């Protein structure tokens, strides 16, 4: 403890929080956001949707179960959502220097240092979260002595291009072939498809998949403003004229909406948690979902052939859309939910059913 450096979290309005470093010691900047999950920091930190963001877990103690071993399954890391940490930095209240779990290989602090990601503890995350709830997501920076940096807004550039695969990759050998448009895909999406007998062809965000011979198209999650992904939206717009089944998740939901002609907008502080309730319009059943996004679809701008598929119970925002006649649908939340609830994983089965119906016509 005596050798740990002090650093500051500085918000764009001038608010300063003093903390102690337990990660990589380098000044960085990004968008400060909070998330409310109690567990799952290895999955959250490796979620590409957090690219450019300074992450603030609201649960007070973090690090008590360390970091999982880096084993492979289906040519993917078995316990992570990508190959590296994507968030810019981690801000927590109480760091557990002692960790214990049957599957742990190192401490959270050591992992952050290995990946060159700063982390601060000893910050009043309750006060910080309250400020973000009142003001909305804010730009911020972690500053070490003598290393000041400028504020950086990741939503003003195409950060999808930074997290997408740069080459075509294939997984599995199932009877159905699905083109997965990688805008920052969580690996559990690939796992859920492989589990259902799908051969996955993972392509870059700007890849022209419009002439691909495939049984279905999957639009992945990803970070930032969907309006920045013009090439992806253009390609989606072209395939909407066909009847190839399409499913989207998170950013994929927003991209499909924009391709259909709808608008998206930035939420005040986004939905980032494991416990967001959603319902299907006209039905009484409520699903508990895992989410991570800062933008949403404006339902009022949906074309007449489209309709909302899910609605957020807390604030009434859109949580998914579907075409009234064609096999196209998407969810704003994460049905694959790693980590988080699995109430809605059945949506992958619905996607496969759409493929089967399409193949048997």
* Tens of pLDDT, residue by residue, the chain (361 residues): 558 999 999 999 999 999 999 999 999 999 999 999 888 999 999 999 999 999 999 999 999 999 999 999 888 999 999 999 999 999 999 999 999 999 999 999 999 999 999 999 999 999 999 999 999 999 999 999 999 999 999 999 999 999 999 999 999 999 999 999 999 999 999 999 999 999 999 999 999 999 999 999 999 999 999 999 999 999 999 999 999 999 999 999 999 999 999 999 999 999 998 889 999 999 989 999 999 999 999 999 999 999 999 999 999 999 999 999 999 999 999 999 878 888 999 999 999 999 999 988 7
DSSP state of 281: T
As beta bridge partners, residue 54 has 32, 89
Please report the pLDDT score of residue 1 as a whole number: 53
Q: Which residues of 306-327 are buried (b: 16+ CB within 10 A; e: fewer)?
A: bebbbbbeeeebbbbbbbeebb
Please report the pLDDT score of residue 3 as a whole number: 82
Active site residues per annotation: 250, 334, 336
Torsion-angle region of 330 (φ positive above 0: left; ψ -120 to 50: alpha; else: beta): beta
Residue listed under structure tokens 């999808």: 160
Residue 165, token pair as written in the block: 């695969």
Please report the pLDDT score of residue 341 as a whole number: 86
DSSP conformation letters of 113-173:
HHTT--EEES--HHHHHHHHHHH-SEEEEEE-TT-------GGGS--HHHHS-SS-EEE--
* Closest by Cα among 111, 92, 118, 91 to 26: 118
Q: How remote is the C-alpha of 21 from its chain's centroid?
A: 26
- Cα 95 from Cα 22, distance rounded (Å): 8
Is pTM beyond 0.85 here? yes
- Cα 34 from Cα 356, distance rounded (Å): 40
């Amino acid at each position: 403890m005596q050798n740990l450096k002090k650093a500051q979290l500085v918000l764009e309005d001038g608010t300063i929080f003093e903390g102690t470093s337990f990660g990589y010691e380098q000044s960085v900047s990004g968008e400060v956001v909070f998330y409310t999950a109690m567990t799952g920091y290895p999955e959250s930190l490796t979620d590409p949707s957090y690219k450019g963001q300074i992450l603030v877990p609201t649960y007070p103690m973090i690090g008590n179960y360390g970091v999982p071993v880096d084993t492979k399954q289906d040519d993917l890391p078995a316990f992570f959502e990508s190959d590296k940490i994507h968030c810019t930095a981690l801000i927590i209240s109480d760091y557990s220097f002692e960790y214990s779990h049957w599957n742990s290989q190192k401490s959270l602090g050591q992992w952050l240092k290995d990946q060159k990601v700063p982390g601060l503890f000893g910050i009043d995350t309750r006060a910080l979260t309250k400020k973000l709830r009142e003001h909305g997501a804010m730009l911020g920076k972690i500053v070490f002595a003598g290393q000041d940096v400028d504020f950086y807004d990741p939503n003003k550039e195409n950060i999808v291009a930074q997290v997408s695969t740069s080459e075509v990759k294939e997984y599995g050998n199932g009877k159905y072939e699905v083109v997965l448009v990688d805008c920052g895909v969580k690996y559990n999406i690939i796992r859920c498809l492989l589990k259902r007998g799908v051969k996955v062809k993972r392509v870059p965000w700007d890849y022209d998949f419009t002439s691909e011979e495939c049984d279905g198209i999957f639009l992945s999650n990803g970070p930032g403003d969907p309006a920045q992904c013009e090439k992806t939206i253009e390609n989606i717009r072209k395939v909407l004229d066909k009847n190839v089944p399409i499913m989207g998740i998170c950013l994929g939901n927003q991209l499909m909406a924009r391709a259909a002609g709808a608008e998206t907008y930035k939420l005040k502080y986004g939905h980032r948690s494991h416990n967001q309730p959603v319902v299907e319009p006209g039905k009484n059943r409520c699903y508990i979902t895992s989410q991570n996004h800062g933008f949403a679809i404006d339902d009022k701008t949906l074309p007449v052939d489209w309709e909302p598929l899910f609605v957020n119970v807390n604030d009434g925002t859109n949580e998914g859309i579907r075409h009234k006649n064609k096999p196209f649908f998407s969810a704003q939340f994460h049905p694959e939910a790693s980590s988080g609830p699995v109430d809605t994983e059945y949506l992958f089965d619905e996607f496969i059913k759409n493929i089967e119906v399409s193949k048997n016509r």
